Amino acid sequence: MVRRTVSFIAVLLVLVFFSTQIVKAETEHDLAFIDYKLALESYSKLHDDYVLARTNYLRFDTLTSRNNAKEATLAMLQSRDDALIAYFNAIDTRTQEVDGVDQSTKDRLSGQLKDEAAWYADHRDRLVAAGSIDDLVADSDEARKRYATLGPVIYEPLSQIPYGRVLRFQERLNENFLALKEKVNRIRAEERPEYQFTTRKLESIDRWIFETEDRLERSNEKLSVAYESIEKIPSSAKSISSSQSRNNQVLESLKEILQDQKDASLRMREIVREIKTE
């Protein structure tokens, strides 16, 4: 059971979007993440207590060691459910706060996460009815098997969160680039000699515009592909490993997009530099 418990909770440690340093809680997500961190620390301690109690029970097999093992197992399993509940809430609050994800998607993902949190809260409350260690093991297996099917519930929001942030930055880049092109067109149409640019300078600006457009087009296309991958998560295999694999693909795509966005931003700066310098 130790191996099962460790593998069951291990996935919770992979939080690609959570900061490990919380200095000041300013949002609902900050508070939710602190709750999750505390719940995970509590679970870790109680899991250590459970391992010790189990070892003593297997070694001595006395009535006292059996009771201690049962109490430690109960406390550990309740704490594990609490950690999962806090985990779902942390994902939910982060999803709600991120820009770039439409509200209907946020509501759908939030509903799924809240349903799972409610299931694990009910499971936690039912644990006290277990009459023996074997009953607790059966209860643990029930929760473990359910968690194994929650890949889409966990990894769709974990994909939507970074996607939304990258999408929002893309939208700002597109808006800024259009404004910059309009500025260049006004300069190009300038008839007053003292305000006209040389042909060489305009050609340089045009080159930077062309390269910027190329990067933005590439990042727009890759964003569409990334979103298509996210849309496939709910209908893909329900396992944690399958959904995590698809999430990793999305994250790799977003890393490429960020590089294209960085390249576009640098080229837009060159356009501004050309405009400002004589």
Q: What are the tens digits of pLDDT across the range 75-113?
A: 999 999 999 999 999 999 999 999 999 999 999 999 999
DSSP H stretches of helix in the chain: 2-10, 28-60, 63-97, 103-126, 133-147, 151-188, 199-232, 240-276
147 contacts 240 by C-beta, under 8 angstroms: yes
Owning domain of residue 251: 159-276
Do 98 and 121 share a domain, yes or no? yes
72 contacts 139 by C-beta, under 8 angstroms: no
Do 7 and 119 share a domain, yes or no? yes
Domain assignment of residue 76, yes or no:
yes
Q: Report d(CA 201, CA 159) in Å as an integer.
A: 43
Task: Say if residue 73's pLDDT is above 90.
Answer: yes
Do 270 and 138 share a domain, yes or no? no
Two tokens, residue 218: 């590439």
Two tokens, residue 66: 């059996």
- Identify the pLDDT of residue 17: 42
Task: Say if residue 253's pLDDT is above 50.
Answer: yes
- Identify the pLDDT of residue 237: 80
Angle ∠(224,226,229) on CA atoms, nearest 5: 110
Domain assignment of residue 203, yes or no:
yes
Question: What does the DSSP 8-state code read for residue 78?
Answer: H
Do 270 and 187 share a domain, yes or no? yes
Domain assignment of residue 20, yes or no:
no
- Identify the pLDDT of residue 203: 97
Do 176 and 113 share a domain, yes or no? no
Q: What is the pTM of this model?
A: 0.86
**Last residue in a domain, options 94, 123, 148:** 148
Q: Domain count for the chain, please give it.
A: 2
Do 125 and 187 share a domain, yes or no? no
**Last residue in a domain, options 103, 123, 148:** 148
- Identify the pLDDT of residue 20: 43
Q: Report d(CA 66, CA 52) in Å as an integer.
A: 12
Do 96 and 137 share a domain, yes or no? yes
Rounded to 5 degrees, φ, ψ at 136 are -65, -35
Do 93 and 61 share a domain, yes or no? yes
- Identify the pLDDT of residue 2: 53
Q: Report d(CA 85, CA 21) in Å as an integer.
A: 21
- Identify the pLDDT of residue 199: 94
pLDDT (average), residues 176-205: 95
What percent of the chain has pLDDT above 70? 91
Angle ∠(35,163,165) on CA atoms, nearest 5: 70
What percent of the chain has pLDDT above 90? 87
- Identify the pLDDT of residue 26: 77
How confident is residue 37, by pLDDT bands cut at 50, 70 and 90? very high
**Last residue in a domain, options 80, 115, 148:** 148
- Identify the pLDDT of residue 19: 43
Task: Say if residue 133's pLDDT is above 80.
Answer: yes
Mean pLDDT of the chain: 92
pLDDT (average), residues 147-175: 97
Do 192 and 58 share a domain, yes or no? no
pLDDT (average), residues 63-75: 98
Domain assignment of residue 229, yes or no:
yes
Domain assignment of residue 131, yes or no:
yes
Output 259 or 8, whichever has higher pLDDT: 259
Do 8 and 134 share a domain, yes or no? yes
